[in-house]
Amino acid sequence: MTTRIDRRMAKLKAEGRPALVTYFMGGDPDYDTALAIMKALPGAGSDIIELGMPFSDPMADGPAIQAAGLRALKGGQTLAKTLKMASEFRAGDDETPIVLMGYYNPIYIYGVDRFLADAKASGIDGLIVVDLPPEMDEELCIPALKAGVNFIRLATPTTDDKRLPKVLENTSGFVYYVSMTGITGSALADTTKVSAAVTRIKGHTALPVCVGFGVKTAEQARVIGASADGVVVGTAIVNAIANVLGPKGEKTADPAEAVATLVSGLAQGVRSARLAAAE
């Protein structure tokens, strides 16, 4: 069974370029604005959308994404609304893969079976749940795979060769390599080490490997994209939204436009990655 993620990755492989994976927070700063941002992403060059599910206690996130989640929750975002946002997007775009990213508790409270049914119906293709390591696969990973939803696992610099097979075992869609030990939005790690890690992971799996955490600029996207199958950008996008919000959360410019401008630049970086590498 292939998913939109598999098809998109295969297509990009044929084109010979890495994917640009864009993260933003569902409901930040409010539902309508976030939906407009989401709709603007593919046109700006995003190949895969990571739709953030806000959580009150995002333990792996830095200040930017923490603040985005709080803005979304304050704006009334819930998991049900995030799913609705995906399905509204899906009504106008049946190709761009959507990956939900967040923490387990809201899903657990929603109910795993109900969540998977609703996610599937909303056109969700994959899940990244930060606090569900392979040791907890029975919770959501196995049910998701049975439901035909990709479960995308994070591999990190602490995931050594001995542990990698366990991490990769039930992973599908792609592998998300976290470029450093740290929280989202930290400084980018040494890119040589990142390339070496991507090569190491590729030795264990045929799945595409996308790299995230710390990628903020088109140049960084280009460098990372030279070795990875995809580049994930999150904090920079979330910051682009925060930058056009005033002290009371009022919009000083159009957030969707701000995001589109940033993503277009990143897309150029990603598209020049293999060209540059070939030089």
Partner 1 sequence: MNKPAMPNSFRTGPDEQGMFGIFGGRFVAETLMPLILDLEEQWNKAKTDPEFKAELQNLSTHYAGRPSKLYFAEGLTKHLGGAKVYFKREDLNHTGSHKINNCLGQILLAKRMGKKRIIAETGAGQHGVASATVAARFGYPCVVYMGATDVARQSPNVFRMKLLGAEVRPVTAGHGTLKDAMNEALRDWVTNVEDTYYLIGTAAGPHPYPELVRDFQSVIGTEARAQMLEQEGRLPDVIIAAVGGGSNAIGLFHPFLDDKDVRIIGIEAGGRGLDGIEHCASMSAGKPGVLHGNRTYLLQNSDGQILDGHSISAGLDYPGVGPEHSWLRDSGRVQYEPILDDEALEAFQLTTRVEGIIPALESAHAIAHAMKIVPKMDKDQLVIVNLSGRGDKDVHTVANMLGMEI
Residues that bind partner 1 in the complex, under the rule CB under 8 A = 54-60, 62, 66, 73, 78-80, 103-110, 130-136, 153-160, 163, 167, 178, 181-183, 186
Output 186 or 217, the one with its CB closest to partner 1. Answer: 186
Q: Helices 79-92 and 112-121, interaxial angle, to 10°?
A: 20
Active site residue 50: yes
In angstroms, what is the minimal distance from the CB of 211 to partner 1?
14
In angstroms, what is the minimal distance from the CB of 231 to partner 1?
19
Output 80 or 117, the one with its CB closest to partner 1. Answer: 80
Output 3 or 186, the one with its CB closest to partner 1. Answer: 186
In angstroms, what is the minimal distance from the CB of 225 to partner 1?
23
Output 109 or 278, the one with its CB closest to partner 1. Answer: 109
* Catalytic-labelled residue, pool 61, 125, 137, 229: 61
Alpha-carbon span 233 to 21, nearest angstrom: 6
β-strand partners of 80: none
Longest Cα pair distance anywhere in the chain, in angstroms? 51
In angstroms, what is the minimal distance from the CB of 144 to partner 1?
16
Active site residue 61: yes
Comparing C-alpha atoms, which of 119, 178, 164 is closest to residue 145?
119
Alpha-carbon span 96 to 85, nearest angstrom: 14
Q: How far is CA 121 from CA 23, 98, 149, 187, 219, in A?
A: 21, 12, 11, 37, 37
Q: 10 Å Cβ neighbour count for 120?
A: 14
* Catalytic-labelled residue, pool 6, 28, 47, 50: 50
Is the Cβ–Cβ distance between 8 and 230 less than 8 Å? no
Catalytic residue numbers, as ranges: 50, 61
